[in-house]
């Protein structure tokens, strides 16, 4: 009797942990709470001007950045309206440097907070964005927090864009305005950015965030664990969810 109670208790403890994981999965569109915390900390830290967000194609980098910035901008702009001592309005600008622009949902996600500065190819990015960003930066109101997102910028473009941003940061008319940049790419380009910025701006640190897909084991643990609690006798149902989990991961990895 006591043995059965012990096993039941252990099962409930384990299942409870798995259910918590399942609930966490729905907490922020795919459970990337750690990456979200890193981005939120970056946005609050004025001494870190650059964040690098990297991961394989289709893993959800753009949406992660979009939803985090949307939440941050909404919260800070509400504070700006309700407080005379607010740090200023948050402005978000998105530059889509990717060949496959249709993949991006950032413009829809942030709506009015985004000035969409897109280029047909990465070759046009430097000349077109330099012009558009110049106009944008000059028109930024005082006491503003401007976040510029460069999605998919190639190596030969990043240096020129960072040069532009750094030059505006050092100009007198930009004083009192706070500028941060988020670079989204498939692979970590920390060394490249360190070289590109060296000697051009006071960059003491940058934040590097890797967005990785869930493994088959992670999905099986979350999905099977959750439904094992609901339907303890249904082995066929558990097997079905294992197959679905594997299919999801294989599709994302393509």
All structural domains of the chain with their residue ranges: 2-27+214-253, 33-210
Q: In the 8-state DSSP scheme, what is residue 116?
A: E
Contact indicator for 180, 49 with CB cutoff of 8 Å: yes
How far apart are alpha carbons 22 and 186 in whole angstroms? Answer: 27
pLDDT in tens, the chain (254 residues): 444 433 333 323 333 333 333 333 333 334 567 777 888 888 887 667 778 888 777 777 887 888 788 888 888 777 766 666 555 678 777 777 664 443 443 333 333 333 333 333 333 343 344 555 666 667 777 777 888 888 876 665 666 666 667 776 666 566 677 778 888 887 765 444 443 444 434 444 567 777 777 555 555 555 555 444 443 333 343 444 444 444 544 444 44
Q: Sign of the CA dihedral 161, 147, 89, 101?
A: positive
Contact indicator for 155, 192 with CB cutoff of 8 Å: yes
Q: How many helices (H) and strands (E) does the chain have?
A: 9, 6
C-alpha dihedral (70, 72, 77, 80), degrees to nearest 10: 180
pTM: 0.57
| CATH of 33-210 among 3.40.50.300, 3.40.50.720, 3.30.310.10, 1.10.760.10 | 3.40.50.300
How far apart are alpha carbons 36 and 33 in whole angstroms? Answer: 5
Backbone phi, then psi, for 206, in 5-degree steps? -140, 155
């Amino acid at each position: 009797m006591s043995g059965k109670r012990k096993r039941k208790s252990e099962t409930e403890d384990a299942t409870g942990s798995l259910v918590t994981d399942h609930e966490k999965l729905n907490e922020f569109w795919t459970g990337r709470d750690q990456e979200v915390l890193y981005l939120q900390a970056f946005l609050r830290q004025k001494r870190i001007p650059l964040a690098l967000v990297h991961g394989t194609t289709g893993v959800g980098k753009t949406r992660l950045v979009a939803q985090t910035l949307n939440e941050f901008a909404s919260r800070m702009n509400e504070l700006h309206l309700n407080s005379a001592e607010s740090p200023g309005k948050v402005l978000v600008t998105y530059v889509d440097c990717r060949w496959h622009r249709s993949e991006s949902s950032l413009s829809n996600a942030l709506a009015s907070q985004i000035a969409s500065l897109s280029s047909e190819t990465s070759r046009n990015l430097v000349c077109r964005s330099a012009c558009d960003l110049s106009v944008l930066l000059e028109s930024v109101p005082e006491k503003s927090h401007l976040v510029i997102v460069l999605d998919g910028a190639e190596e030969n473009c990043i240096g020129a864009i960072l040069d532009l941003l750094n030059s505006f940061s050092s100009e007198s008319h930009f004083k009192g305005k706070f500028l941060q940049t988020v670079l989204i790419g498939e692979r970590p380009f920390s060394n490249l950015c360190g070289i590109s910025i060296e000697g051009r701006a006071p960059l003491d640190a940058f934040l590097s965030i890797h967005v990785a897909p869930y493994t088959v084991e992670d999905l099986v643990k979350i999905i099977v664990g959750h439904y094992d609690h609901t339907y303890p006798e249904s082995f066929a149902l558990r097997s079905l969810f294992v197959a679905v989990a594997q299919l999801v991961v294989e599709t994302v990895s393509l």
